[in-house]
């Protein structure tokens, strides 16, 4: 029991100390007995026994085993251990048998355990590590100091014997943590410390949108070592909670902040507004499947001017179908009308060899349902895509990931769906009738990542089956192909390409356009050859999940440098979105990303011209997630027809600036704060770093003009995402 406590104590404090600079002391003078004057700096102890800290006092040749004894340690404490003007030092005396009180130059700095004369009598704390903070005013900097330790021991062994003691240049963070832990109705501020500490704990609530301080209260904290202070902090939507703790002996302040989900984007107008891409590519003769993406009050009526022969409009649903035999660019005008008004939007239908002229937008079942996906669940999300209005923002692909496959093929080799998908063709037909597209998943190996049947040696037949169901998108996941790859001698780039090229030929033989999505985690430098084998996107990294670490690695570490490889028809795919209710199982949870991290995620994917495949259950989408996914200006950057993926321009002090140029001559710029604390940023200064000047810019999340000559506070892991029209350029808005 006691040993466990000791271990726990050691483990708890280790992380606090890793960064500290320190001085170790191996020797002291020792005397059995007890006299209060032994605590004084000036006491002359030269006749005391010299001891090192590796022997219990029983081994010092002393007859008496139980009782009191004193250690006096002499040392010069260099002022290099001072941090800033005011800084304490931290004594790490290790564990002492059994109880002690300690003085530095005559000032009592701490006591652990109790002595026989104390009320309640003696109690041992032999297993507890001693950390005592020493007031900087008590230290004789660059001169001799005396640490006096009065020890009471009972039973074997006694005193100091666990190695040198340490004098540490500490920071408050070395021995205390301040965190915010979610609880019902808000958060709990938790201050935990391994030393005695006192100071103000401040709790501030701000409005996220205005930045205005709404309340601020301060509590005086006085904590003994190894104690915790907990304080409930209710948090309403759109509010940011900041807590700070300052122990006046240290310069630095502990900080933590969180915010409740907050909606930056104003609601869409009731009048029709076009939010979809400006172009759509289809091959001659292939089915046109396209839903006009207008937000605004429903019902809405649609018309399209300039439709080529063979392409027809469902005027109630706003769905284009049919096909066009003749290649060419067809300028169309979409017209949408509701009770509040009429809106016209220019559009180009590009009938030619290239599809996926803008990154695909839609949904994929993996990040929510993983192997528990079913036709019912896909239908529920598809219906919600329409009913909740996400289809009015261009989301169109409904992609089934792994786990749709039956265990066996038919006797003639045809792949079939398992019992969870009773009617694939019916599902495809329903999606198409609503202007949505149908996606499926397979592997070039004999099995998929989830252990289902793959397409190895059945590629042509599988492509034909998918065509018969109306499949418009194939995610082709390497996984089981590793077996083939490892068995072969060829490990060249060609060996990576071979299985993908094979399937590509069979997809192209089908009389419909099938978006070809390569999934092999960025292996074999896929971005260098993906476009040449006519793939429409390729994964650039391993599987993402809903943590900051995963988002950071996937987004900020794996994507820099890939911008030259993206463009209309072929995109880098940093994996599916991790906002909303996800879970990779039949039980879902809210994304574990903070609201600020979610803004960062969607901003970065918008800049990266990434596949925008929603990974949550759309049927359960909340207003915050809707706002993240359905900001027409943020999505317009993702869908920009130049298709220029952003590049990472600046990496400095935990900040990153990414930018891309857009077809209207402006630039989308994301200023990301990857630090753990808020950072104020002077916007014109940040833009100057990437050679852009502007008096005012458009805040894409808030959808409003903001002055460039002002300072904006970017929250931890958050972003300021703007569109910049460089000075001198006329505003076409």
Q: Which residues bind ligand GLA (CB under 6 A)?
A: 366, 401-402, 448-450, 477, 479, 519, 543
Q: By the 8 A CB rule, do 717 and 596 touch? A: yes
DSSP 376: H
Structure tokens at 592: 């574990």
Taking the complex as a whole, the smallest distance from the CB of residue 402 to ligand GLA amounts, in Å, to 4
What residues contact residue 512 under an 8 Å CB cut-off, 6+ apart?
286, 287, 467, 470, 471, 472
> Rounded distance, CA 469 to CA 138, Å?
81
445 or 718: CB nearest ligand GLA: 445
Which of 401, 477, 546, 640 is an active site residue?
Answer: 477
Q: What are the Cα distances from residue 275, in Å, to 2, 290, 491? A: 65, 13, 45
Q: Which residues contact 249 (CB under 8 A, 6 or more apart)?
A: 86, 87, 88, 133, 135, 136
Q: In what order do the strands lie in the sheet with 704-707?
A: 647-652, 655-661, 667-673, 719-724, 696-699, 704-707
When the beta carbons of 554 and 635 are compared against ligand GLA, the nearer one is 554
Find the farthest-apart pair of alpha carbons in the chain and give their distance in angstroms, rounded: 109
- Tell me how far apart the alpha carbons of residues 690 and 607 are, in angstroms, rounded to a whole number: 15
**Whose CB is nearest to ligand GLA?**
449
Rounded-to-integer distance, Cα 628 and Cα 610, Å: 15
Cβ of residue 102: shortest distance to ligand GLA, in angstroms? 56
Q: Which two tokens stand for residue 390?
A: 């996400």
Report how far residue 60's alpha carbon sits from residue 52's, in angstroms, rounded to the nearest whole number.
10
Least distance to ligand GLA from the beta carbon of 653, Å?
34
List the one residue out of 517, 403, 405, 518 whose CA is nearest residue 450. 403
CB of 486 to ligand GLA, least distance (A): 18
Nearer to ligand GLA, 194 or 554 (CB): 554
DSSP string, 498-561: HHHHHHHHHHHHSSS--EEEEESTTGGGGGGTTGGGT-SEEE-SS---SSHHHHIIIIIISSTT
Q: How many C-beta atoms surround the C-beta of residue 184 within 10 A? A: 7
Is-contact 71 29, C-beta < 8 A? yes
Judge whether 247 counts as a catalytic residue.
no
| Shortest Å distance, C-beta 518 to ligand GLA | 11
Give whichever of 401 and 462 is closer to ligand GLA, judged by the CB atom.
Answer: 401
CB of 666 to ligand GLA, least distance (A): 34
Q: Quick one: CA dihedral 247, 259, 15, 656, positive or negative? A: negative
Which CB sits closer to ligand GLA, 187 or 441? 441
Closest approach of Cβ 403 to ligand GLA, in Å? 7
Does the active-site annotation cover 543? yes
Question: Which one, 69 or 450, has the nearer CB to ligand GLA?
Answer: 450
CB of 371 to ligand GLA, least distance (A): 7
In the complex with ligand GLA, the residue whose CB is nearer, 274 or 478, is 478
Q: How far is CA 144 from CA 70, 104, 457, in A?
A: 19, 11, 81
- Give me the catalytic one of 314, 429, 543, 664: 543
Question: Based on CB atoms, which residue is closest to ligand GLA, 71 or 527?
Answer: 527
Instruction: State the catalytic residues.
Output: 477, 543
């Amino acid at each position: 029991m006691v040993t466990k406590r000791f271990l726990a104590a050691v483990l708890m404090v280790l992380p606090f100390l890793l960064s500290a600079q320190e001085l170790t002391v191996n020797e002291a003078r020792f005397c059995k007995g007890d006299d209060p004057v032994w605590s004084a700096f000036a006491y002359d102890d030269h006749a005391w026994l010299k001891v090192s800290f590796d022997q219990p006092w029983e081994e010092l040749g002393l007859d008496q085993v139980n009782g009191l004894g004193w250690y006096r340690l002499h040392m010069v404490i260099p002022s290099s251990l001072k941090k800033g003007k005011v800084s304490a030092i931290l004594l790490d005396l290790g564990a002492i048998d059994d109880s002690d009180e300690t003085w530095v130059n005559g000032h009592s700095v701490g006591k652990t355990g109790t002595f026989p004369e104390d009320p309640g009598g003696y109690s041992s704390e032999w297993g507890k590590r001693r950390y005592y903070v020493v007031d900087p005013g008590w230290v004789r900097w660059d001169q001799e100091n005396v640490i006096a330790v009065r020890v009471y021991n009972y039973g074997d062994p006694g005193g100091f014997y666990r190695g040198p003691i340490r004098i540490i240049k500490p920071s408050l963070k070395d021995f205390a943590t301040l965190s915010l832990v979610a609880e019902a109705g808000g958060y709990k501020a938790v201050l935990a410390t391994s030393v005695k500490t006192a100071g103000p704990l401040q709790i501030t609530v701000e409005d996220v949108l205005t930045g205005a301080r709404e309340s601020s209260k301060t509590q005086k904290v006085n904590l003994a070592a190894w104690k915790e202070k907990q304080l409930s902090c209710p948090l309403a939507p759109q509010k940011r909670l900041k807590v700070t703790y300052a122990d006046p002996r240290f310069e630095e302040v502990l900080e933590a902040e969180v915010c409740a989900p907050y909606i930056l984007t104003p609601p869409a107008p009731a009048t029709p507004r076009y939010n979809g891409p400006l172009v759509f590519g289809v091959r001659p003769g292939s089915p046109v499947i396209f839903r006009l993406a207008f937000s605004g009050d429903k019902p809405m009526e649609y018309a399209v001017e300039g439709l080529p022969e063979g392409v027809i409009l469902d005027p109630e649903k706003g769905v284009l179908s049919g096909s066009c035999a003749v290649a060419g660019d067809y300028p169309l005008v979409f017209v949408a009308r509701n009770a509040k008004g009429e809106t016209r939007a220019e559009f180009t239908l590009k009938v030619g060899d290239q599809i996926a002229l803008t990154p695909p937008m839609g949904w994929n079942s993996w990040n929510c349902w993983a192997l528990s996906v079913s036709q019912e669940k896909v239908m529920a999300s598809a219906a919600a895509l329409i009913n909740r209005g996400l289809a009015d923002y261009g989301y169109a692909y409904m992609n089934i990931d792994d786990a749709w496959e039956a265990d066996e093929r038919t006797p003639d080799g045809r792949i079939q769906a398992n019992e969870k998908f009773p009617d694939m063709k019916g599902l495809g037909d329903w999606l198409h009738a609503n202007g949505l597209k149908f996606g499926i998943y397979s592997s070039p190996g004999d099995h998929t990542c989830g252990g289902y049947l793959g397409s190895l040696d059945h590629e042509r037949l599988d492509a034909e089956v998918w065509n018969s169901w109306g499949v418009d998108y194939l995610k082709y996941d390497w996984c089981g192909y590793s077996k083939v790859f490892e068995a072969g001698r060829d490990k060249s780039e060609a060996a990576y390409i071979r299985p993908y090229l094979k399937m590509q030929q069979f997809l192209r033989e089908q009389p419909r356009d099938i978006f070809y999505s390569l999934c092999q985690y960025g292996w074999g430098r896929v971005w260098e050859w993906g476009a040449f084998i006519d793939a429409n996107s390729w994964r650039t990294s391993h599987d993402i999940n809903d943590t900051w670490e995963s988002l950071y690695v996937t987004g900020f570490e794996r994507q820099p440098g890939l911008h030259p490889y993206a463009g209309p028809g072929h995109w880098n795919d940093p994996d599916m979105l991790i906002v909303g209710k996800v879970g990779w199982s039949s039980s879902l949870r809210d994304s574990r990303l903070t609201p600020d991290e979610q803004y960062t995620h969607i901003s970065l994917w918008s800049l990266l011209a990434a596949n925008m495949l929603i990974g949550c259950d759309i049927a359960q989408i909340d207003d915050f997630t809707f706002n993240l996914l359905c900001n027409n200006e943020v999505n317009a950057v993702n869908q920009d027809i130049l298709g220029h993926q952003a590049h990472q321009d600046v990496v400095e002090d935990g900040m990153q600036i990414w930018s891309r140029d857009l077809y209207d001559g402006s630039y989308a710029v994301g200023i990301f704060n990857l630090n753990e604390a808020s950072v104020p940023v002077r916007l014109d200064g940040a833009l100057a770093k990437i050679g852009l000047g502007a008096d005012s810019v458009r805040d894409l999340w808030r959808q409003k003009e903001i002055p460039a000559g002002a300072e904006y506070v970017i929250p931890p892991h958050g972003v300021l995402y703007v569109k910049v029209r460089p000075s001198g350029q006329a505003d076409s808005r």
